[in-house]
Amino acid sequence: MLNLASSPRARLTRWPSARFDGSRGYPPRGYFYNCSPREPFYIKSGAWSPDDRTVYLASTGFRPWNHMSGFPLRGMCDSASAFSAGRTATFKWLNYTGCDSLYSAAADASGAYFAGHERYSQNPNGCNTQGPGAIAAPGIEALNPATGMLLVNGQGTGLYTRDRGLGAAAGHRLAVVHDVHLRGDPPASARWQALIVAFAQAAERFGHEPVHGPLFEDIGVFQRLGAGTDVVRKEMYDFRDKGDRHVALRPEATASVARAFVQHRPPTPWKVWCVTPAFRYERPQAGRLRQHHQVDVELATKVRQDVTNGGASWLADDVADEQRPHQAGAVGHRA
């Protein structure tokens, strides 16, 4: 761990845990902290929680060299884990893939994200197989930040999938220069799930990664980006919270992502996609409900690019097979 506040330069500080530093040795008093000699244990990636209180780790390693058989799995090999970010790395939770390596980690307020060669999540009783209770999570998993359990949809499967081995987890809440989105009120049906899968696959084929944003923001975020629109002037659900902060439920995805770009300044170009509920304070009518859903793709770049029509084209082509009424729109501006 680096102390960036030290002067005149950053200073390496201890961040110990017996789970990975061997300070208590092996069981029964310690932990299985070394992995297979063939696939040595490496923490491949780490990510901070938004409040800087938790560090999430993605690791490789197969199995501990001295626990190569039997279940449940032990140690931190091939797992996602969480530790406190204080002077001592206090263990919080661990989620096994079942002997598949993880190479990247990222986090936001909604989840902790891990990606790599994984096929399953919550798989302590399987190794290269789906053990009892494991859930399919090919390529990427989104975990509950508090418990480490897989975040699932209404069908009990993981929220995201991607090709195994790519290793690029979801970015932090990111930014927009151009966007294409699909609007509609989704039925609780297999057709809606199929549409989302088709959209995600198309987006990732064009290099977009999944991203999450908050459901509500300071009202100024939306006012600055759309002060002259009906959405801002007439249709926002806005209120004051217990701290007397003036906030609004998100009427669309773009403003929150643009705010995050200004705040975090990620490297560009950066391509992201998301699925999000959106809220409009208006009279419900045909095709216009107070809560609807949007699927959204965003591109952040310093160079102006004519990507809008192309984005609309692949979106229309890929969702056409779902034979579901939809609206595809595109907007663009300099970030």
Domains of the chain: 2-143 (no CATH), 178-332 (3.30.930.10)
Instruction: Record the pTM.
Output: 0.52
pLDDT surpassing 50 at residue 175: no
* Residue 13 pLDDT level (bands cut at 50, 70, 90): confident
Burial class of residue 145 in the structure, from the number of CB atoms within 10 Å of its CB (0-12 exposed, 13-18 middle, 19+ buried): buried
Strand partners, 240: 246
pLDDT surpassing 60 at residue 167: no
- What confidence tens digit (pLDDT) does each residue in 76-89 have? 999 999 999 888 89
Give the per-residue pLDDT at 304.
54
Strand partners, 199: none
Spatial CB neighbours of 316, under 8 Å, sequence gap ≥ 6: 328
Spatial CB neighbours of 96, under 8 Å, sequence gap ≥ 6: 72, 73, 78, 79, 122, 123, 124
pLDDT surpassing 50 at residue 321: no
More confident residue, 197 or 240: 240
Across the range 29-56, mean pLDDT stands at 86
Across the range 272-291, mean pLDDT stands at 74
Mean pLDDT of the chain: 77
Most confident range (mean pLDDT) of 25-29, 85-89, 168-172 is 25-29
* Residue 185 pLDDT level (bands cut at 50, 70, 90): very low
Which of the 8 DSSP states describes residue 64?
B
CB 266 within 8 A of CB 286: no
CB 237 within 8 A of CB 279: yes
Q: What angle do CA 116, 74, 53 make, to 5 degrees?
A: 65
